[in-house]
Amino acid sequence: MSVSQALDEIKIGGLGASRRRVEDDRFIRGKGNYTDDITLPGMLHLEILRSPLAHARIKSIDTSKAWDIPGVHLVLTGEMMATRNLAWMPTLSYDTQAVLATDKVRFQGQEVACVIADDPYIAKDACEAIDVEYEPLPAIVNPAQAVADGAPVIRDDKENQPDNVIYNWEVGDKAGTDRAFEQADVVSRLQLHYPRSHPSPIECCGSIADFNRATSKLTVYMTTQAPHIIRAAVALVAELPEHMIRIVSPDIGGGFGNKVPVYPGYVCSILASILLERPVKWIEDKSGNLISTGFARDIYLDGELALRKDGKILAVRMHADADHGAFFSDAQPSKFKIGLLHSTFACYDVPVAHLTARGTYSNKAPGGVAYRCSFRVTEAMFFQERMIAAAAADLGMDPAEFRRMNFVTDEQFPHRTPFGFLLDSGQYAKCLDVGLKAVGYEDFRRQQEEARKRGKLLGLGISTMTEPLGAGNSREYDILGIKMFDSAELKVHMTGKAILRTGAKTQGQGHETTWAQIVAHELGLPAEDVIVEEGDTDTAPFGMGTYASRSTPVAGAAVSMVARKIRAKARRLAAHLLEVSEEDVEWELGRFYVRSSPDRGVTIQECAMAAYSNMPDGMEPGLENTAFYDPPNLTWPFAVYLVTVEVDQETGVWDVLNIVAVDDCGVRINPMIVEGQIMGGLTEAYAMANMQFITFDAEGNCVGANYMDYLLPTAWETPGFELHSEVVTPSPHHPIGAKGVGECAAVGGPAAFVNAVIDAIAGTGVRNIDMPLLPDRVWEAITHGHDVSGAPPVRADD
Ligand code: CDP
């Protein structure tokens, strides 16, 4: 594209324009329309009674006092749900999950009963009037306890479940990896715990179910990132006809993976509305969200690198123990039990690798959601970059040089990893060079030496990441057999204004802005002439939803493809209007012209009018179309994050001095939005590394399920960022060369912070401090010269 063409495109808000987010007009005016903003006539309110215990048999539930409270319309228990076959529901990972507990409670905060009343306060009071008698059972809070001899079986409701193991999974070449380890000069080993982490969107989960007996139609307004999947789930679980179910996802105040699963509150509000024939609203509170909805991570990693003494990586061997909580409810491509953990080490040229993974139940809320990551990629990249840092230290090599010598080189693309992924494109060494220059690598190393002599601890951490974004393709990726692809529908009206609908669902990422930019790029219509709608299953074409940064790689590609279909028809209209054959018509942004006479042309808007008023004989009228896009491959963005810190050895407090981010996400549709995504991801990475503490004591009590312990950084705590965008490697298979970006910084960021702190305290012999790097843990490591590993050690009597 020439410079003048690029400028023309920027003028209409096309590709590369830092167009202001159109959705913000309503958000900054307080005119967003979130689930809790919706009030329907005759609406009732649902509140949930949650278990105070992590593991206990339910001896009895007495709801009589709750029924007696004026304003109460319905009290639901598991026993009542069971009469409708709704006490248990299937999960997205071929397991079952209790909607309301019947036999046992299996985690603290589990849903035991719910009350539907005139207002939420009455419903809450009535919940407290429900009398539940429990017989406590020993609790299991980690994988080691889950597989210990004599461990109580948590899922004794399931046939053929004699223990707490959910799966054993493996991928790679075991024999080849073993052989490579026999030839290694050095074997570097690291064990890590990636702690439980919570997406904590500002808006909690909620739903309003509205069943209309007269029309038999069920409308559910709800906080879901995947409305079409929810429609299918409701149809299958509640046995309602799918065309009589309308799921509407209004504005969503952040999802980050938290709003993908199906939660009991949704199911209860639907059943209650069907029974009462009135709209029923359930809005979760903050503690309910932190204690009971989808957590992420909680995974123990044990890995080894086989190394040649010159620094070449010969093989990777890795084992993961994943704690899934009481129900295996991960939303991920079904055949990959541990998500895409095997994307680990993808950016390094590793000849052979082997990964084993074991999933276990515990007495915790179901975990393993893809919190701002492509199904366990955060764990994969964290582990990779912590391993790389440890291996460089073991070899006595510079960590930047060690990375560079092992990177997949530019000439190796497309590159097949030992776990079978095909990397599309990248310029890894170039990104590293940009980052090292920006952070002033050599200078910082000198300053670090000098500071050490004065007793000050400075550290520099590097982290790189490449993430498989954009599941499908449908050959390899499905959820419960439903293939992963996406769609877009474009209707161009006669005056050249258009409406675009996709099967994705924005939760703050700015799709209303960027999808219109893709249409502007493909058709030359000004972006402001294109309105974007998502989230209503009655109007939007089918899609698998928005998570795992799959929107741009899949739905965004569908937008391009549907616009190209429209352009192809517009070309035929142009030929008709210009009275030449189609082959003689050329295209430039927004206009068709006659090749031999470029002054003779028609605009895309004129073609749109002709589609309704002057089409050639035999042509179907109108200018509308739909495209389903099944990507040929995933897109693989790459990033390098560099963090410098100063650690106070007296207190263990560490301050960030500088953060440099070099992201290559291919072609950027909207550079400003991309930068916002990277800043948000880095903020979350900083929070995970530094301040987010959520764990469980020996009795399974959730410690830290409040915002005094589980800290969300505000603008005050968040360090500044230096972002670099000069490396652009288009995806060769995406129609506009874009790769996903939404999660990259949250995925790659945490290791940069941890590596920086470990680098600062090098010399103490400490190899690892597990996140969060709270000051007392850093202080303990410095003072005692030992690793601080595992979940924070909280005992029942603390
Ligand atoms: O699936 P999700 O929307 O969370 O993630 P994404 O596809 O990475 O996109 C996040 C936001 O960044 C969207 O508004 C995208 O359109 C935008 N984006 C962009 O402008 N250029 C890219 N190369 C990738 C994403």
How does pLDDT run across 490-541, given as a tens digit for each residue? Answer: 999 999 999 999 999 999 999 999 999 999 999 999 999 999 999 999 999 9
In ligand 1, the atom with minimum distance to the C-alpha of 510 is 14
Give one DSSP letter per residue of 412-481, joined into a string. Answer: G-SEE-TTS-EE----HHHHHHHHHHHHTHHHHHHHHHHHHHTT-EEEEEEEEEE--BS---TTT-EETT
The reply to whether 225 belongs to the active site is yes
Write out pLDDT tens, residues 289-345: 999 998 899 999 999 999 999 999 999 999 999 999 999 998 888 889 999 999 999
225 in ligand 1 pocket by Cβ < 6 Å? no
- Of 371, 514, 638, the one to substitute when testing ligand 1's pocket (max ligand atoms within 8 A of C-beta) is 514
Q: Would you say the CB of residue 279 lies under 6 angstroms from ligand 1? A: no
* CB-based contact 338:376 (threshold 8 Å): yes
Task: Assess whether pLDDT exceeds 80 at residue 797.
Answer: no
Output the pLDDT for position 404. Answer: 98
Distance (Å, rounded) from C-alpha 748 to C-alpha 388? 13
Q: How far is the CA of 514 from the centre of ligand 1 (A)?
A: 8
CA distances from 713 to 612, 749, 791 (A): 54, 15, 21
Q: Is 314 in contact with 74 (CB distance < 8 Å)?
A: no
* Pick from 230, 259, 265: nearest CA to 245: 230
- pLDDT of 549 strictly over 90: no
- Position 457, amino acid: L
Q: In angstroms, what CA-CA distances link 147 with 327, 361, 369, 616, 637? A: 16, 9, 22, 72, 38
Q: Is 743 a catalytic residue?
A: yes
**554-609 pLDDT, tens per residue?**
999 999 999 999 999 999 999 999 999 999 999 999 999 999 999 999 999 999 99
For this structure, is 795 an active site residue? no
Assess whether pLDDT exceeds 80 at residue 211.
Answer: yes
637 lines ligand 1 (CB under 6 A): no
* Predicted local confidence at residue 793, as pLDDT: 52
Specify whether the CB–CB gap between 45 and 123 falls below 8 A: yes
| Atom number of ligand 1 nearest to Cα 740 | 8
pLDDT at 794: 59
Cα of 575 vs its chain's centroid, Å: 46
The Cα–Cα gap between 669 and 19 comes to 10
Distance CA 644, CA 459 (A): 6
pLDDT at 795: 53
**pLDDT per residue as tens digits for the range 438-475:** 999 999 999 999 999 999 999 999 999 999 999 888 88
Distance (angstroms) between ligand 1 centre and the Cα of 253 equals 17
Whole-number Å distance, alpha carbon 533 to ligand 1 midpoint, is 16
DSSP three-state, residue 520? helix
**Does residue 503 have its Cβ closer than 6 Å to ligand 1?**
no
What is the mean predicted confidence (pLDDT) over 726-735?
A: 98
Q: In this structure, which residue's CA is closest to atom 22 in ligand 1?
A: 668
- For residue range 761-780, list pLDDT tens digits in order: 998 999 999 999 999 999 99
Mark whether 179 is an active-site residue. no
Calculate mean pLDDT across residues 360-366.
96
Catalytic-role residue among 110, 225, 509, 605: 225
- Per the CB < 8 A criterion, the answer to whether 485 and 630 are in contact is yes
The confidence score (pLDDT) of residue 238 equals 80
Average confidence (pLDDT) over 253-274: 95
**Protein residue whose Cα sits closest to atom 3 of ligand 1:** 551
* 704: confidence class by pLDDT, cuts 50, 70, 90: confident
Minimum CA distance residue for ligand 1 atom 5:
549
Q: pLDDT for 156-175, tens place per residue?
A: 999 999 999 999 999 999 99
Lowest mean pLDDT of 90-94, 117-121, 511-515, 619-623, name the range: 90-94
pLDDT at 384: 98
What's the average model confidence in pLDDT over 268-289? 96
- Using a 6 Å cutoff on CB, does residue 729 contact ligand 1? no
Identify the residue whose C-alpha is closest to ligand 1 atom 19: 669
Q: How confident is the model at residue 576, as a pLDDT? A: 98
Please give the structure tokens belonging to residue 210.
């509205």
Cβ neighbours of residue 773 closer than 8 Å, sequence gap 6 or more: 654, 689, 690, 753, 754, 757
pLDDT at site 510: 97
The whole-chain average pLDDT of the chain stands at: 95
pTM here?
0.96
Over residues 23-60, the pLDDT tens digits come to: 999 999 999 999 999 999 999 999 999 999 999 999 99
How many whole angstroms from 552 Cα to the centroid of ligand 1?
Answer: 5
Is 514 a pocket residue for ligand 1 (Cβ < 6 Å)? yes
